[in-house]
Structure 1
Amino acid sequence: MHGMTSFDDIYDRPDPRAYFTRLAPLSYEIPHHAQAVFRRTVAERADPGLTVLDLCCSYGINAALLNHDLTLADLYAHYTSPMAARLTTAELIEYDKEFYGARRRPGAVRVLGLDIARHALDYARAVGLLDGVHSDNLEEHVPGPALMAAMADVGLITLTGGASFLSRRTFAALLECAQRPVWVSAFALRTVPYAPIASCLAGFGLTTRTDPDRTYPQRAFTDPEEQRAAVRAVRLAGLDPTGRETDGHYHTALYESRP
């Protein structure tokens, strides 16, 4: 997105340590807000065979928080610790298998991950956070056979980051493959319009609701220029940045789409 600092270099490392180390000073917190929302949505979806597809899943952080007795603060502490810093990626993978295995919640749901960051996907799969991973770029290509087959069981699509880079193409491609009713629960920055995606979902029989007065902080701005661009974009969208973006943080809105 124009005016937004790029963090591309931390999204596709062999493990998540750089990701958490870079984002900690910026108080990146949207997965924390999503944790309770996604757990509640899974319970409301009430489908015993439910599979969740986490879009732009990176290292499986939403899956970690959905299915394990952990907070986002726990993950920051874990991956920025001196102990983690001493390990090789291979050693960290072995450690994380036990770390997550010991904290798995009863009633954990199956989670698939979709992201173009192959290293991040491989890590999340290796440590057991994701039950299946797909690196299809649906903005540019149709889904491959594996993703098409996997969509048969998906009943909930989640998203906490990446709405700025996704269009209706990705959502249409996924819903065209769906075999059961799909709900979508998405956190999107207020700097980008979600209406085109909501319009696409409406074509598949989904009604999108959002509470314009309820926002969720995403992270602090990296510099005044990034803040100015965000405030300008929010105003252009017809929204009020006062007390939100003007106070130094990106804010997101929650969009819930259901039949």
Structure 2
Amino acid sequence: MAVSPVSTASGKTRFDDIYNQPDPRAYVRRLAPLDYEIPHHAQDVFRRTRADRSAADGTDGPVTVLDLCCSYGFNAALLNHHLTLAELYAHYTSPEVDALTSAELIEHDKKFYAARRRADAAPVIGLDTADHAVQYALAVGLLDHAYAENLEHHPPSPRLRRAVADTGLITVTGGVGYITHRTFQALLESARVPIWVSAFVLRSVSYQLVIAQLAAHGLITETHSAQTYPQRRFTSAAEQRRAVEQVLAAGDDPIGLESEGRYHTRLYQSRPRSE
């Protein structure tokens, strides 16, 4: 398995070559052997949070979800379909799809996902700088709207602002660090209904500036510091060493977690003070 270079800024291995392909097959072939599992842990959390957000409105109607750093739409796939992450990995590594062109795979996957659509499926907006990845997710029906925009450097487009206006829940698995409080600020300034945030954040990355930005918009953030969720195995001793250093610098203990060979995340849930 080829390993991409390590980023000098974060110490994390870079996977730039697989994040913006016309379809997810290379992404799965690279990350599945590393036990990339955070979407699995997020599946039930996001479903429960979506239900709680709907109940807060006093209805059981659909809540629009905005998935940050959505890539190929796997969080949307797991949220809205009768599927597990293991089944997604098996699908994209199967001989059946291996020989297909990207265009053929898109047509195949339209039927694949439509046959597994849940009755309680929610509208999902995808936001990521990877334009090919979000277009795939949109084409196969995982996303209702897709935006390839970088809110770290540019304000949201008018179309994205209108989409965010009706968003009730923002989700993210592992994207914090690539995106910062600036992205959250831009989104929250576009919100017109009470918005909740459910974020899985690496313990090697600080979330404090995001928490402060959420608080400035009336959201209270809670986390259970003792509970963590594994993300993936380290690609090298150098990546592990840097992660351990960052966790220690944040005042956390890596023993039994990062010291055992995996990145770990913490779940942060943010809601309006009134709720």
How would you bin the TM-score normalised by the shorter chain? Answer: over 0.9
- Which shifted more, 48-57 or 61-70? 48-57
What are the ranges of 5 or more consecutive residues in structure 2 without an aligned counterpart? 1-8
Alignment correspondent of 1:27: 35
Alignment correspondent of 2:110: 97
Alignment correspondent of 2:247: 234
Identity of aligned residues (%): 63
Alignment correspondent of 1:129: 142
The SS at the match of 1:130 is coil
Alignment correspondent of 1:6: 14
CA distance in 2, matches of 1:247, 1:84: 35
CA deviation vs aligned residue, 1:40-76 (integer Å, no higher than 9, x gap) = 0011011524210000000000000000000000000
Q: How does 1:75-90 map to 2 (within 5 A)?
A: 75-90=88-103
Give the TM-score, by structure 1 length.
0.99
What are the ranges of 5 or more consecutive residues in structure 1 without an aligned counterpart? none
8 Å contact 1:49–1:153 — kept in the other structure?
no
Q: How many residue pairs align between the two structures?
A: 259
CA deviation vs aligned residue, 1:93-127 (integer Å, no higher than 9, x gap) = 01100100000000100000000000001100000
Runs of 4+ in 1 over 3 A off after TM superposition: none
CA deviation vs aligned residue, 1:169-212 (integer Å, no higher than 9, x gap) = 10010000001000000001000110110010000000000111
1:153 CA drift (Å): 1.0
Q: How does 1:184-199 map to 2 (within 5 A)?
A: 184-199=197-212
Tell me, yes or no, if structure 1 residue 39 matches structure 2 residue 47.
yes
8 Å contact 1:171–1:200 — kept in the other structure?
yes
Q: How does 1:1-259 map to 2 (within 5 A)?
A: 1-46=9-54, 47=57, 48-259=61-272
CA deviation vs aligned residue, 1:14-63 (integer Å, no higher than 9, x gap) = 00000000001100000000000000001101152421000000000000
1:161 CA drift (Å): 2.1
Give the TM-score, by structure 2 length.
0.93
The root-mean-square deviation of aligned C-alpha atoms, in Å, is 0.7
CA distance in 2, matches of 1:12, 1:161: 17
8 Å contact 1:218–1:251 — kept in the other structure?
yes
User: Which amino acid counterpart does residue 44 of structure 2 have in structure 1?
Assistant: A
The SS at the match of 2:254 is coil
